[in-house]
Amino acid sequence: MKTSVTYKDSGVDIEAGDELVNRIKPFAKKTVRPEVLAGIGGFGAMFEISKKYNNPVLVSGTDGVGTKLKLAFTLNRHDTVGIDLVAMSVNDILVQGAEPLFFLDYFACGSLNVDVATDVIKGIALGCKESLCSLIGGETAEMPSMYPHGEYDLAGFAVGVVEKNNIIDGSQIKPGHVIIGLASSGFHSNGYSLIRKIIELTKLDLNSKYSDNETWADAIMKPTQLYVKPILELISKVSVYGMSHITGGGITGNLPRVFNSQVTAKVNLNKLPQIKLFEWIKKNANLDDEQMLQTFNCGIGYVVVVESKDVAQTMSIIESHNIKSYILGEVILRNNNPDIVYC
């Protein structure tokens, strides 16, 4: 009689997957909003749009964490990349004024390590809770031979809602409006292929001191700043004409996306924060200002455009959430100017 070959023999452990679901349910439960009708465990999650919206428009976004995961594998740090995953999507949909409602994740690996996956999804749940949205479902895919041992990949999907009349699209931005930057927490989740290359070339000891309270590993792996709470408060109190999430492509690639065809930005480079992390990568990668601004957030993770009369209130609201803010410049007529005028 031939011996049967089980799914586990092929490298897929169904019991481990079931254990992971049981472990993450309590974390997901802490993120549940009243609108959730059915979440983790079913074939599909259900979410009811609140009756407070008269003409609701759904806004969606999806993203990953990129090669920052490679450092997570090397350092065996898996508890913060889930926050990165949430932040990259919810910060994106926030730009149009959307309140994040729910989030779904996709965790793919060659062989499921339940402890590692639990750490990752705990981070996702933490990011969702901080973003006021529900972790409503997801997928764990165990695919032997698809991924090297000990590695995994992440993707996430966020859905938010905004009143149609309150969509922020940049169409009303005018010359004289002020550009305010919100501080980033570090590299966020962009530029890590270059960052890892410079770590290798400089033989940087990631366990060495970056500051009194942090190692270089702490600083480089710091999760992406979540901007949901300050921005939702801001747009409820101040007229915001445009917003930009500074991700891949840096300030140069992302700030112009918020402007209509009549205007552009005049940004004072001296107003950007001076941060050791960015000075380190600039020096060791031998990048000029233009290359830095096209690759990294350079200390500014999010931008809002407001009227000059609202600058003080805007900065006060942002800083009440323990996020520094900076007046970066102003909006000018486009005429023959480039997408951004740096001065």
The answer to whether residue 20 scores a pLDDT higher than 80 is no
CATH class of the domain whose range is 178-342:
alpha beta
Closest to 31 measured CA to CA, from 41, 43, 39: 39
3-state secondary structure the chain: CCCCCCCCCCCCCHHHHHHHHHHHHHHHHCCCCCCEEECCCCCCCEECCCCCCCCEEEEEEEEECCCHHHHHHHHCCCCCHHHHHHHHHHHHHHCCCCEEEEEEEEEEECCCCHHHHHHHHHHHHHHHHHCCCEEEEEEEEECCCCCCCCCEEEEEEEEEEEEHHHCCCCCCCCCCCEEEEEECCCCCCCCHHHHHHHHHHHCCCCCCECCCCCEHHHHHHCCCCCCHHHHHHHHHHCCEEEEEECCCCHHHHHHHHHCCCCEEEEECHHHCCCCHHHHHHHHHCCCCHHHHHHHCCCCEEEEEEECHHHHHHHHHHHHCCCCCEEEEEEEEECCCCCCEEEC
Fold match between 14-42+51-166 and 178-342?
no
Average pLDDT of 284-288? 96
Task: Tell me the one-letter amino acid at 39.
Answer: G
Give the model confidence (pLDDT) of 192-222 as tens digits: 999 999 999 999 999 999 998 999 999 999 9
Q: Which of 333, 301, 334 is nearest to 318 (CA)?
A: 301
Lowest mean pLDDT, pick from 7-16, 115-124, 149-158: 7-16
- Percent above pLDDT 90 for the chain: 79
Indicate the pLDDT class of residue 33, thresholds 50, 70 and 90: confident
- Domain ranges for the chain: 14-42+51-166, 178-342
What is the band of 45 on the pLDDT scale with cuts at 50, 70, 90?
confident
For the domain spanning 14-42+51-166, the CATH number is 3.30.1330.10
Residues 132-139, mean pLDDT to the nearest whole number: 92
pLDDT tens digits for range 54-71: 999 999 999 999 999 999
Task: Tell me how far apart the alpha carbons of residues 330 and 38 are, in angstroms, rounded to a whole number.
Answer: 46
Q: Is the pLDDT of residue 23 over 90?
A: no
Of 193, 187, 327, the C-alpha closest to 265 is 327
High-pLDDT (> 70) share of the chain, %: 94
pLDDT of 29:
81
